Amino acid sequence: MFRLLKRNAWIMVTICLAGGAFAEPAAPAACPEGASVSSVSFEGLKHTKPRVVERELLNRAGEPFSQEKFEMEKARLQDLDLFTEISVSCEGTKLTYHFKEIFRWIPAPAGKKTDRDGLMLGAALANINVLGEDIRLEVQYRTTVDPFFDKNEVAFYASSPYLFGLPLGWNLEFLMTDSYDEIRNFPERSLLWDLDLDYEVKEHLSLLGTMALRMISTWGGAVLPEIGAGVALDYRDSKLDTRDGVYFEYMLTHVGGGSNFLVYNDSDCAEGKECSNVGMGENYWELLTDARAYKTFGRFVTGATALVRYRPGDVKFYDYYYHGGANTFRGHEADSGSLGVHEALLTLEERFVLLERRAASVWGINFFYGVQLVAGLDGSLLWDKGRPGWDNYEGAVYGGIHLVIPALDRIRFEVGYSPDRGEPVFYFGLFDKVISSRWRSR
């Protein structure tokens, strides 16, 4: 489920800097609790087909209106990331839903922030609502900022929460990388094809599947197939900016077992040395547990998360986990001294909602924004064999401010401090950390 979010790695904050007046529309008349509903209609769906909205609704014709149901369906509709504003009104027995759509075609700057490569910028072209069916397509080019064009990525994403009317979420990704991994210390030239599936068996229960193929053409390259299956129990009130509820995901994936292909070390050949093939094939299982819990008290949102990945088998250095940075452990920067085969990331976070999400418009472009203050504790465990001990553990405190926006979920400005390192570190991150920590290695 987490991969459906990374399709949107284009920077929306440019809208906020563009200038212009924010438009606040008048609120429609409220519906009385228990009023009988004779019909349901929609206003403001210029690009979205009605069935995309209808499949998320809980209030229906022939039933009494429920404000509690509306709050639940509003959260579901917000998770589609298609609307900046959603409201409902009644005229007699007629129920009308009012929508303000986020702009659809987006030629925009593209951004990605990882602990390994730092900030990457480039260009993107996206359509967030193809044919009005909530299908998203996006093409991106990204390069590092310091120095420019040192590391490069080309990406294509396609995704939707439905397939032919079935509640089968899918996310297709193609990624081409030409980079140097300064944490694991190797040049990375790779291709990745990835397909992730999320089938909602019933409310709160989904079956997950993943299929991927990686080709690494560095030194002794490797072809690495991946296949996995899992289950997710989702009782959150919203997938984006969760306020209440719990989420549990369990996934078992097999990685590797493909073939090595011969790629020589060019520098050795150039110096007249004997060319050698360094095997990079691997073969291991990954057992993943992702647990999250949230509770709101007034304007305070308490969250506790745990991500644990255990990988028995043959794991090569280029797939070692690293900790350090905005997406993993906010106590120090990532470095070659913080590597391991297995990992556990623990976070306890308190958020204060300084400014609730609100709709706005600049030059006819609709979006939303919100502001939250955060403070929390990070725990990090990295180990290679057996069980982890206290020598494998690090702890840190952090605080900062989050800007809640469409597509990216949030932009994070944080300062972390680890007693073991003794120096505060400033961090800039995109997406919620529980999302970015899941795909930081790609």
Q: What is the pTM of this model?
A: 0.78
Mean pLDDT for all residues in the chain: 85
For residue 270, pLDDT over 50 is answered with no
The per-residue pLDDT for 29 is: 66
pLDDT at 351 over 60: yes
Q: What is the pLDDT of residue 18?
A: 33
Whether the CB-CB separation of 341 and 384 falls below 8 Å is answered with yes
Average pLDDT estimate for 298-315: 97
Compute φ and ψ for 137, nearest 5 degrees.
-125, 140
Does the pLDDT at position 35 exceed 80? yes
pLDDT at position 108 is: 62
Query: Which residues, including other chains, have CB under 8 Å from residue 345's CB and lie 6 or more apart?
Result: 305, 306, 307, 308, 323, 328, 329, 378, 379, 380, 381, 437
pLDDT digits (tens, 9 = 90+) for 380-436: 999 999 899 999 999 999 999 999 987 778 999 999 999 988 889 999 888 899 988
pLDDT in the model for residue 182: 82
Amino acid, res. 66: S
Q: What is the pLDDT of residues 82-114, one digit of tens each?
A: 898 899 999 888 999 999 998 777 766 666 666
Confidence of residue 188 (pLDDT cuts 50, 70, 90): confident
- Report the first-to-last Cα separation within the chain, whole angstroms: 16
353/19 Cα distance (integer angstroms): 24
CATH architecture of the domain covering 2-12+104-439: Beta Barrel (2.40)
> What is the arithmetic mean of pLDDT over 174-195?
89
CATH: 3.40.50.2300, 3.10.20.310, 2.60.40.1120, 3.30.70.270. Which one for 26-101? 3.10.20.310
User: What residues does CATH 3.10.20.310 cover in the chain?
Assistant: 26-101
Query: Is the pLDDT confidence value at 49 over 90?
Result: yes
pLDDT digits 0-9 by tens, 114-145: 667 777 788 888 888 898 999 999 898 988 87
Structure token pair of residue 75: 């959260």
Domain with CATH 2.40.160.50 in the chain: 2-12+104-439
